[in-house]
Amino acid sequence: MSEAETAPAIGRRGLMLVLSSPSGAGKTTISRALLAGDEALSMSVSATTRAPRPGEVDGRDYHFLDVAAFHRMVEAGEFLEHARVFSNFYGTPRGPVEAVLARGGDVLFDIDWQGTQQLAQNARADLVSVFILPPSLEELHRRLSGRGQDSAEVIAERMAKAGDEMSHWPEYDYIVVNREVEHSVAQVRAILAAERLKRARQVGLAPFVNRLRGLDRDSGG
């Protein structure tokens, strides 16, 4: 093996990558693609009081809870953030996120603007936020209908809320217009790659550079 392969990795501080968008713009699709090719990235599985959609699996897509169980978790301080969205409650369980960050991994969140604001208040330095816009309202409606998992009434409610949701775009670090999935995924991967290289996140740089400069040879002597 070459030295490049055996050299110890430079220690890195994990980051929190948030994707938000109006419903149907493509967060779930982009998240799945990101996770598939990236072992350092873990999805935060939210808790929700909304009913599972066909094909959704408890513990994988969401932790599906009744309202009483959700409020017990709120009272016990078990959420990193929580909010009411479309007349249901959603929240991010704290434990799994803290465990991934503690070992230097990155966490991906599919949460709304309210949750993003709460994360920004508590951990701005670790947060990287991306807002996904649809190419047009007509296309957003096509995607919500084409997903084939919501009633006409639910789709109408989500279309009605899309404008409000989109008004929060200026609060995000990056904006991606999701025209072609592969292109959007590549753009978010580029964001993640650059954010991982930020000097402040590479906490192992000082000892690494000291070794390069030969400054560690006399240490401990």
Ligand X SMILES: Nc1nc2c(ncn2[C@@H]2O[C@H](COP(=O)(O)OP(=O)(O)O)[C@@H](O)[C@H]2O)c(=O)[nH]1
Ligand Y SMILES: Nc1ncnc2c1ncn2[C@@H]1O[C@H](COP(=O)(O)OP(=O)(O)O)[C@@H](O)[C@H]1O
Alpha-carbon span 113 to 56, nearest angstrom: 23
Q: Angle, to 10 degrees, between the axis of helix 152-166 and the axis of helix 137-147?
A: 140
- Judge whether 149 and 61 are in contact, CB under 8 Å: no
Under the binding rule (CB under 6 A), the answer on residue 112 touching ligand X is yes
Options 31, 49, 92, 187; binder of ligand X; rule CB under 6 A:
92
Binding residue ranges for ATP: 21-28
Out of 50, 63, 71, 196, which residue is the one contacting ligand X (CB under 6 A)? Answer: 50
Stretch in the footprint of ligand X (CB under 6 A) among 21-29, 96-104, 120-128, 130-138: 21-29
User: With CB under 6 A as the contact rule, which of the stretches 35-43, 72-80, 174-182, 188-196 interacts with ligand Y?
Assistant: 174-182
Q: Which of 178, 185, 188, 192 binds ligand Y (CB under 6 A)?
A: 178
Binding-site residues, please? 21-28
Give the 3-state secondary structure of 82-148. Answer: EEEECCEEEEEEHHHHHHHHHCCCEEEEECCHHHHHHHHHHHHHHEEEEEEECCCHHHHHHHHHHHC
Binding residues (CB under 6 A) for ligand Y: these are 21, 23-29, 143, 146-147, 178, 180-181
